[in-house]
Copies of this chain bind each other. A is one copy, B any other.
Amino acid sequence: MTPILHSVSALKPFLKKEKPSRVCIVTSKKVLPHVRWAVQTLKKLKPTAILVPDGEKAKQWHVLEKLLKDFSHRGLDRESIVVILGGGTVGDLAGFAASIYMRGIRYVQIPTTLVAQVDSAHGGKTGIDFLGAKNQVGAFYPANAIVIDHRFIKSLSKSQIVDGLGEIIKYGLIKDPSILALLAQETVRSIQKSPKLASIIEQSIRVKDFYTSSDFKEQKGRIVLNFGHTYGHAIELKYGVSHGYAVLIGMLAELQLGEKLGITPIFVRKNLLAFLDKLGIDVGGAFKFDARLLDHDKKVKGKAIVLPVIVREGQAKLVAISTRRLKELLSNI
């Protein structure tokens, strides 16, 4: 199990104990102004620093190549440690680079966005997009430590909070309804300063860990975490909306799918819509599903796909469905 540290300061003694030959911070130009205090905290370790692009622009083949070259030019060897400061995309890119540089060196994730703190930094999934398909190339390669520092959440924009809420609400729907209860009195604006923030993040990570540690390589149980992601990924690719927002849209669509399959009671979706409205999240956009994008989805196995479907708030089950029927059903939502 990857240790979780609760502040950037706690990383200093951790790194000292690991005795790296060199510490290399990877972050982005966009993130840097917000995280200078964290870089400053690590100054005594004499880190070298590399800037990469941000957003999905980071997760490209040629960016990966450039980062590996930078690792080499900065003299990183097998005993070096990469410290990644950024959101999910920077973490996915740099974690993947660490996983294949010299056949894998140690790395630490310091997620700076809400969605990265509750989701992408955990579970060891790294990777880049390839030929227009998300995470088509990558590795399962867990970080040696993850730092969850709430100070980063304070500087986030409203849309970055919504991005994180997508995954947090998913955890509530598939496993732990008490997360939804914690959110019930909040709005998108109030969460950043809410005394409940720590509990919301902690319980979210617990759900993520439950599925990823029991099944690290995503053969069975981990599939539950894909709830909202099949429809969501296609929307994210086509419209360029944020991951968490796409997952929100994806969950609403996949709840409808569950209704069509006779598994999900209709009030789950009605409740969710009211809940999102109270939080102040607008999900009224007109998105059109492009079934062809499913052909590049890693989750699609040959002619059939296994999908998580919600039975009730806090409980999901896995359902096998033919790719053809899935496309047909989703296209009519």
What are the interface flags for A72-101 relative to B under an 8 Å C-beta threshold, 1 for contact and 0 otherwise? 100001110000000000000000100111
Interface SS of chain A: helix, strand, loop or mixed?
mixed
Contact A302-B139, Cβ < 8 Å, known A65-B61, A72-B133: no
B136 contacts A104, C-beta separation under 8 Å: no
Q: Quick check: is A238 within 8 A (CB to CB) of the other chain?
A: no
Rank and list the top 4 A-B pairs by shortest CB-CB distance, nearest first.
A21-B302, A103-B138, A102-B298, A79-B301
Task: Give the CA-CA distance A139 to B103 in the complex, in Å.
Answer: 4
B139 contacts A127, C-beta separation under 8 Å: no
Residues of A in contact, count (CB < 8 Å): 35
B78 contacts A298, C-beta separation under 8 Å: yes
Q: Quick check: is A130 within 8 A (CB to CB) of the other chain?
A: yes
Q: List 24 A-B contacts (CB under 8 A).
A: A21-B301, A68-B136, A69-B131, A72-B131, A72-B133, A72-B136, A77-B298, A79-B301, A79-B302, A96-B100, A99-B139, A100-B100, A100-B137, A100-B138, A101-B136, A102-B136, A102-B298, A103-B125, A103-B126, A103-B135, A103-B138, A104-B139, A104-B217, A139-B139
Q: Quick check: is A140 within 8 A (CB to CB) of the other chain?
A: yes
Task: Give the CA-CA distance A21 to B303 in the complex, in Å.
Answer: 9
